């Protein structure tokens, strides 16, 4: 069910964590992945889940390449990271929003498990204690009935009765078609639950064997004197507790802690005793179905996103409205221009970056990122959900609100001018044109056939998408710096180009790529415009190509994003 071939992985290329690892895990077992802290347990699990990508080699999980994170793969595997992060919703809402993504989800089981674990039903999930959250996510994961169920340190944070409940639930959930992997360094919690043991240390699999074969090949006993069969010994009250080669064919109880120490102490001998099984079966072809776009899944994703982030998005929008109003309130100081209007409009356009960042802030925390990346949706669906929410929700909302504010303010000022200062309507038009100049109006839009706000809107949104996806927490500052650098380089470049062509005296105005201002000794300055066609090209480049490219980079980034 899980096949790993010549797998290599390292966080940087010089220091590899795993090299040339091969193993295969079969359904119907509970695998215990044991290793010291930092041995690479979580890394291996993340690679199986497609949250990290192997440097070389192949991993195949339920006949899929995890790296592609296809929905048909994701809905058949469930991963519980060590730290869990929940949105601010109740059990019931969580089920409503997330369960539909998993075709084999069983609602009855979910509530049954929650009851067993004594997880309260009336509390918001993110307000619960760490242990309660962990139990809730375990209950949910078990109820998903996925073929592969991976848990990273599941018993961390569980109290004593919950650990017992956990063992009961996992024992009950194991079927011949399912595969469980539990990583832990607290072996006592899971002693009798696991039936296959994988021990990793120093980036190597030192042991991968079933309890049965360990029973056959090793024995665990207390002896008075050590002999050459002993692999590991520990002093105890009655003599020496040892792990020894099972020459007498004794049936002894496995002490996993002692086994672990024995394996770490004698990796070579252990390897000889448990000769590695080689994978002979060829990798199966990966099935492809319904993995690009599915309307129902997309709808579920939109619903989930809006439900979880709606409040923050709404709050941010209200703040933006306040900013626009504030900008208008400075009208009294700016009698001669429509500056407050433009400022308000620009604030509104810019604020799309805030929305995009909220929609994609999943990557600032590993646990949230893991849950977002393993949500059974295709990359296109996740990307499109951001696009749709910004373009079809933010933009109309902003335009409507802006129009309302604009109309209200202008009407108010016009009335003031007429009633207090006795302007006639005609005088208004000539003396105070800005009061009759509605910002979003037909002629205004007609004058700029492009829809002058759309390209910057998409551009800003795209910048935020790329920023959020590439730079995690520090997105804003880093992206800002990168783009500032780019823009600066461009304008500097065009400036230098003009200087090279025309001579030292010329200079271009910043960020104008089609116009040069030339200063000579005779005339103070005159401007030179590039030809119409070049102006058109630059315009299309800036207004269409760049925003589109940014969004497309975002889409590509979705597919190669690692944890």
Partner 1 sequence: MDFRGKQAIYLQIGEYIFEQILLKQYPMGEKIPSIRDLAVALEVNPNTVQRTYDFLQQKEIIQIKRGIGYFVSNDAEDKILLFRREQFIETELPNVFRNLHLLKINFEDLKAQYQQYIQENFNTKI
CB of 175 to partner 1, least distance (A): 9
> Rounded CA gap, 365 and 360, in Å?
11
CB of 166 to partner 1, least distance (A): 9
Closer to partner 1 by Cβ: residue 195 or 204:
195
Question: What is the binding site for partner 1 (CB under 8 A)?
Answer: 28-30, 164, 167-168, 171-172, 174, 191-195, 211-212, 215, 220-222, 251-254
Residue 65 neighbours by CB distance under 10 Å: 16
In the numeric block, the tokens 């604030």 are attached to 347
> Rounded CA gap, 231 and 242, in Å?
7
User: And the tokens for 75?
Assistant: 């809905």
Answer for the pair 414, 436: CB distance below 8 angstroms, yes or no: yes
Question: Exposure string (b/e) for 306-324, b if CB count within 10 Å is 16 or more?
Answer: bebbeeebeebbeebbebb
Closer to partner 1 by Cβ: residue 129 or 175:
175
3-state secondary structure of 53: coil
Question: Which strands sit side by side in the sheet containing 526-529, from one edge to the other?
Answer: 506-507, 515-518, 526-529
> Rounded CA gap, 126 and 328, in Å?
39
Closer to partner 1 by Cβ: residue 39 or 193:
193
CB of 258 to partner 1, least distance (A): 12
DSSP characters for 412-455? HHHHHHHHHH---HHHHHHH-GGGT--SS-HHHHHHSTTTTTHH
Closer to partner 1 by Cβ: residue 132 or 215:
215
CB of 9 to partner 1, least distance (A): 29
> Rounded CA gap, 474 and 468, in Å?
8
Closer to partner 1 by Cβ: residue 191 or 257:
191
Alpha carbon 91 to chain centroid distance? 22
Closer to partner 1 by Cβ: residue 75 or 165:
165
CB of 251 to partner 1, least distance (A): 4
Closer to partner 1 by Cβ: residue 211 or 549:
211
> Rounded CA gap, 504 and 279, in Å?
71
CB of 205 to partner 1, least distance (A): 21
Closer to partner 1 by Cβ: residue 10 or 28:
28
With residue 7 as reference, give the H or E element that holds it: strand 2-9
CB of 233 to partner 1, least distance (A): 16
Closer to partner 1 by Cβ: residue 96 or 195:
195
> Rounded CA gap, 256 and 244, in Å?
13
Closer to partner 1 by Cβ: residue 254 or 325:
254
> What DSSP character marks residue 150?
E
CB of 80 to partner 1, least distance (A): 19
Closer to partner 1 by Cβ: residue 175 or 436:
175
In the numeric block, the tokens 């980079």 are attached to 553
User: And the tokens for 116?
Assistant: 């067993």
Closer to partner 1 by Cβ: residue 252 or 535:
252
CB of 372 to partner 1, least distance (A): 33
CB of 193 to partner 1, least distance (A): 6
**Which phi and psi angles does 517 have, rounded to 5°?**
-105, 120
Helix axes 454-471, 475-502, angle to 10 degrees: 120
CB of 231 to partner 1, least distance (A): 17
CB of 211 to partner 1, least distance (A): 7
CB of 29 to partner 1, least distance (A): 7
Closer to partner 1 by Cβ: residue 31 or 73:
31
Please list, in sequence order, all residues whose beta carbon lies within 8 angstroms of the beta carbon of residue 504, skipping any fewer than 6 positions away: none
Going by C-alpha positions, the residue among 510, 469, 471, 478 that lies closest to residue 492 is 510
Helix axes 107-117, 91-98, angle to 10 degrees: 150
**Which phi and psi angles does 506 have, rounded to 5°?**
-80, 160
Alpha carbon 49 to chain centroid distance? 13
CB of 239 to partner 1, least distance (A): 13
Any idea what the Cα angle at residue 455 is, between residues 451 and 459, rounded to 5°?
160
Label the pairing between strands 2-9 and 148-152: unpaired
Closer to partner 1 by Cβ: residue 249 or 336:
249
Please list, in sequence order, all residues whose beta carbon lies within 8 angstroms of the beta carbon of residue 60, skipping any fewer than 6 positions away: 2, 3, 4, 5, 66, 283, 284, 286
Please list, in sequence order, all residues whose beta carbon lies within 8 angstroms of the beta carbon of residue 465, skipping any fewer than 6 positions away: 356, 360, 386, 550, 551, 553, 554
């Amino acid at each position: 069910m899980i096949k790993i071939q010549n797998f290599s992985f390292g966080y940087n290329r010089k220091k590899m964590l795993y090299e040339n690892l091969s193993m295969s895990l079969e359904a119907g077992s509970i695998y215990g992945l044991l290793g010291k802290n930092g041995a690479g347990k979580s890394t291996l699990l993340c690679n199986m889940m497609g949250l990290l990508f192997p440097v070389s080699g192949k991993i195949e999980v339920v006949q899929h390449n995890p790296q592609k994170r296809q929905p048909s793969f994701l809905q058949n595997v469930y991963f519980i990271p060590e730290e869990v992060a929940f949105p601010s919703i109740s059990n019931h809402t969580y089920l409503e929003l997330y369960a539909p993504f998993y075709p084999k989800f069983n609602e009855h089981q979910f509530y049954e498990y929650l009851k067993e674990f004594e997880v309260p039903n009336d509390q918001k999930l993110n307000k619960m204690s760490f242990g309660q959250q962990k139990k809730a996510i375990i209950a949910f994961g078990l109820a998903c009935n996925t073929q592969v169920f991976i848990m990273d340190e599941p018993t961390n944070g569980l109290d004593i009765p919950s650990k017992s409940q956990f063992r009961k639930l996992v024992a009950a959930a194991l079927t011949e078609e399912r595969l469980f992997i539990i990583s832990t360094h607290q072996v006592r919690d899971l002693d009798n639950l696991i039936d296959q043991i994988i021990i990793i240390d120093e980036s190597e699999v030192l042991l991968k064997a079933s309890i049965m074969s360990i029973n056959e090949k090793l024995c665990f006993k207390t002896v008075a004197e050590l002999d050459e069969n002993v692999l590991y010994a520990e002093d105890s009250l009655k003599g020496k507790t040892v792990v020894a080669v099972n020459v007498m064919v004794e049936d002894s109880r496995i002490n996993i802690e002692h086994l672990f120490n024995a394996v770490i102490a004698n990796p070579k001998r252990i390897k000889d005793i448990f000769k590695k099984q080689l994978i002979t079966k060829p990798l199966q072809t990966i099935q492809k179905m319904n993995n690009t776009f599915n309307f129902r899944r997309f709808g579920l994703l939109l619903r989930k996103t809006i439900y979880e982030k709606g409040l923050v998005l709404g709050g941010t929008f209200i703040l933006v409205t306040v900013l626009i109003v504030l900008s208008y309130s400075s009208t009294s100081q700016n009698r001669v221009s429509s500056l407050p209007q433009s400022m308000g409009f620009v604030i509104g356009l810019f604020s799309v970056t805030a929305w995009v960042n909220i929609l994609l802030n999943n990557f600032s925390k590993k646990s949230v990122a893991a849950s977002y990346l393993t949500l059974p949706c295709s990359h296109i669906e996740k990307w499109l959900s951001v696009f749709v929410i910004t373009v079809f929700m933010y933009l109309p909302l902003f335009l409507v609100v802006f129009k309302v504010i604009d109309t209200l303010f202008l009407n108010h000022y016009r009335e003031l001018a007429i009633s207090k200062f006795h302007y006639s309507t005609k005088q208004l038009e000539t003396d105070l044109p800005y009061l009759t100049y509605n910002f979003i109006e037909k002629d205004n839009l007609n004058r700029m056939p492009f829809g002058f706000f759309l390209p910057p809107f998409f551009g800003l949104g795209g910048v935020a998408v790329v920023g959020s996806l590439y730079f995690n927490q520090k997105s804003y500052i880093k992206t800002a710096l990168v783009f500032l650098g780019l823009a600066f380089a461009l304008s500097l470049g065009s400036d230098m180009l003009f200087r090279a062509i025309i001579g030292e005296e010329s200079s271009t105005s910043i960020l104008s790529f089609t116009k040069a201002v030339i200063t000579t000794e005779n005339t103070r300055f005159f401007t030179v415009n590039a030809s119409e066609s070049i102006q058109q090209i630059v315009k299309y480049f800036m207004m269409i190509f760049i925003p589109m490219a940014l969004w497309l980079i975002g889409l590509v980034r979705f597919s190669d994003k690692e944890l």
